[in-house]
Structure 1
Amino acid sequence: MNHGDDDRTATRGGPGSGGTDGAPLITGGGLVKSYGATAALRGASVELRPGEIVAVTGASGSGKSTLLHCLSGIVRPDGGSVTYAGERLEQASEERLSELRRTDFGVVFQFGQLIPELTALDNVALPLMLAGATRAGARETAGTWLERFGVGEQGDLRPGEMSGGQSQRAALARALVTGPKAVFADEPTGALDSLAAEQVMTSLVRTAREAGTAVLLVTHDARVAAYADREVQLRDGTVAPLGVTA
Structure 2
Amino acid sequence: MLIETAAYASRWRDVAPSAKALFAVAGIVASWLAQSPAALAALIAMLMLTALLAARVPLRSYIAIALPPLGFLLLSCLTMLFGPDENGHWHWTTAMLPTIQHTALRSLAMLAALLGLVLTTPLPHLLALLRRLRTPELLLDLMVLCYRMLFVLRQAWDESITAQTARLGYRNWRQAWRSTGLLAGQMAVQVWQRAAALQTAADARVYQGTLRFLPAIYPQAQRQQVIAALAGCVMLAIAVGDRL
Normalised by the length of structure 2, the TM-score is: 0.21
Compare the two structures and name the one with the higher strand fraction: 1
Normalising by the residue count of structure 1, what TM-score does the alignment of the two structures yield? Answer: 0.21
* Rg (Cα) greater in structure: 2
Higher helix share: 2
Larger RCO (alpha carbons 8 Å, 6+ apart)? 2
